[in-house]
Every structure is written in structure tokens, then in C-alpha cells.
Amino acid sequence: MNDKKDICEICGKDLVYALTPKEYKDLTCEFCGKIFNTNTFCEDSHYICDNCHQSGAIEIIEKITETTEIKDPFILAEKIMHHPKFKMYGPEHHVLTPAVILTAMKNNNIKKPNGESITLFDIKEAIRRASKIPGGWCGFYGSCGAGMGSGIAISIFTGATPAKDRERTLANQMTSISLSKIGDNLEHCCKRSVKISICETLRFLEEKFDIKMNYQPKSCSFSKANEKCEKENCLFNSI
């Protein structure tokens, strides 16, 4: 007899399968925020609805950034990266970076330099642009997609175009700064690259625009799941 339990993809604890109506629970999906009456949940009552469970990684980014009120970009990135459709490595991280940065700015009511608000259209535009960056770009083209994502965020924030000198410069400076930190002579890690890019973007916003978003990354929660983890060599191993 196989006694192996299915586990929660949020916390790793055993899943519970209710068999009678009274055992069912009304639970909020961890990702879309909707309430469902369900017979499948974990010991700590975490729940992922079927739609979210089967959605692709970019769909998950779109869905969560449309509805979330989270103001901390690190917490938002962590929430999305823990979704079961999000792999340990992959080009979805290129999309994640600008999406969470702009969403956090929007939720903090930070205005663009022209005084306009950051909108859902801006976030969707960031997703669209970053979706074009293929996987493996870091090694094959020398430009990590997560780092490029930080440049995309600044491009949209400033309204950069190829014809706008200062705005274009700022977007390129942002990418350059992120890439310089990502090039750390360690095993590549998409999670680390996302966090580095967020860190550098927050510093950049304060330096260039006097925008203070005093959020700090948390200690990495993916270390045990990542066979290639650099452990104590990583900036986020034991913050």
C-alpha cells in the first residue's frame, strides 16, 4: 500500500481530501483571491483553485497583478514564484521583474515623472515587452532577462522611447546597473536575479527620482528546492 501523501504547493504540508459535505471548507484561493467551497486543501488551509492551478506562468502574473493590493515588490514576487506553474528557472522571471515593480509602485500610489498614475495598462505593457525576451538570454546573449526587466520598468515609468534622450538613457542605465550585479560569478539563479533587479530598481528610484520604497528582500525560501543553490555565497541566503 502506498501511504505517500500529496503535498501543498504553498507550504509543503500534507493535502487533505474531504469526503463528506461537512468536511468541505470555504477557502480563499492563494493566487486569485476568490472564495471557493472545496474538498482539497492543506493542513494549514492553503488552497489553489483549479483555474489558477492550470494557468500558465504569465497568466498567473497577469491575474495576480490585476487584483493584488500588495505594496512590497519582494513579497509579491515571492507569492508569484511559489505558484506551481512557476518553475525554478525560466523566462517567466523576465516578465515577473517589471510586473512586480510597477504593480508595487501602483499600489503605493507613486506617480510617474509626468504626474500620471501607473495603470494596469502599464503593467500589461511591461508583461508584453518582457515576454519577448527568450530563455537562456543571460548566457547566450550576455543580458539576463530579469535585469532587462528592470530597464523595462523604468522605460514605462518614464515614458521612454528611442527618441527621448534622458528617458532612454535612464532605462539603459537601469538595465546596466542590474546586469552588473547579476554578473556575480555564481551559478545562475532566476530567483536571485529577480531579487537583485528589484533591489537595484528601488535604489535607482530613490537616487534619480527621490522615491523611497523602503522594502527589503527576505531570506530565500527556494534554497532547499534548488539543487544548484549557491547557499552561503548567495546574497539572499540568510538575510
Q: In whole angstroms, what separates CA 59 from the centre of its chain?
A: 12
Q: Residues 75-114: pLDDT tens digits?
A: 999 999 999 889 899 999 999 999 999 999 999 999 999 9
Same domain, 31 and 145: no
Residue 7 has φ and ψ, to the nearest 5°, of -120, 155
Same domain, 50 and 70: no
Q: Residues 108-135: pLDDT tens digits?
A: 999 999 999 999 999 999 999 999 998 8
Same domain, 23 and 116: no
Same domain, 77 and 169: yes
Share of the chain above pLDDT 90, in %: 82
Kindly state the cell numbers that stand for 204: 535607482
Same domain, 41 and 63: no
Output the pTM of the full model: 0.85
Q: Where are the alpha helices (DSSP H) in the chain?
A: 50-54, 57-67, 73-81, 92-107, 120-130, 137-140, 145-158, 165-182, 190-209
Q: Which residue has the cell 512557476?
A: 86
Please, which pLDDT band fits residue 152 given cuts at 50, 70 and 90?
Answer: very high
pLDDT of amino acid 4: 52
Q: Where are the alpha helices (DSSP H) in 108-164?
A: 120-130, 137-140, 145-158
Look at the chain and report how many structural domains it folds into.
Answer: 2
Contact call for residues 222 and 81 (beta carbons, < 8 A): yes
Same domain, 108 and 194: yes
For residue 181, with 0-12 CB atoms within 10 Å meaning exposed, 13-18 middle and 19 or more buried, which class applies? middle
Same domain, 18 and 82: no
Contact call for residues 48 and 31 (beta carbons, < 8 A): yes
- For residue 160, the enclosing domain spans 56-233
Residue 185 has pLDDT above 60, yes or no: yes
Same domain, 91 and 37: no
Same domain, 44 and 139: no
Please, which pLDDT band fits residue 199 given cuts at 50, 70 and 90?
Answer: very high
pLDDT of amino acid 2: 40
